[in-house]
Structure 1
Amino acid sequence: MKTDPNIDRRDDVRPAEGEHKYGDVDFADPTNKKYPIDTPEHVRAAWSYINHKDNAAKYEADEVRLIKERIQRAAKKHGVDIQTD
């Protein structure tokens, strides 16, 4: 299971569920298997979800920044136009 030393394991999620639901894909949060970024649709959804205050509040500020950077890179890769702050 891929993890990221820059993102802490959250107690409120089960990473195996994310991997089971989406398969072996890239995630903006690979530690917790949150925010899949393997398709244009997933990139749009990931951006929308991480920009909800209640979702972002579950992470430290530097973790949110890293997740957003990964989503932005995936958006560019998949030709998805997203609104940045």
Structure 2
Amino acid sequence: MKKTLSTLAVLAAIALPSLSFADEMDPAKMTCAEFTAMDAEGMMKATDAMHMAGPDAAMKMDDMMAEEAMKMTMTHCEGKPDMMAMDAMMMK
């Protein structure tokens, strides 16, 4: 329980300055820790930016696909804060 509270405190400290996706952030260099620290709107913007920077950029994502991609990125990022979020999004 103590470890969980400490982890949440650290994540909150990281999340405060980066709750939404910063326009100047390079989606290819965003870590899972940065991605999961964002609010839902920031995650959706980051997911879209990672998609546009990736190999599937020619394929337009609809809202349903973007939401699914965001959820899968969160799942693949779980327990891997140093992993690149874009790599997590591209995992099958």
TM over 0.5: no
Bigger CA radius of gyration: 2
By percentage of residues, which structure has more strand?
Answer: 1
Q: Which category of TM-score, normalised to the shorter sequence, fits these structures?
A: 0.3 to 0.5
Q: Say which structure is richer in helix.
A: 2
Instruction: For CA contacts below 8 A with separation 6 or more, give which structure has more relative contact order.
Output: 2
The TM-score with structure 2 as length reference comes to 0.32
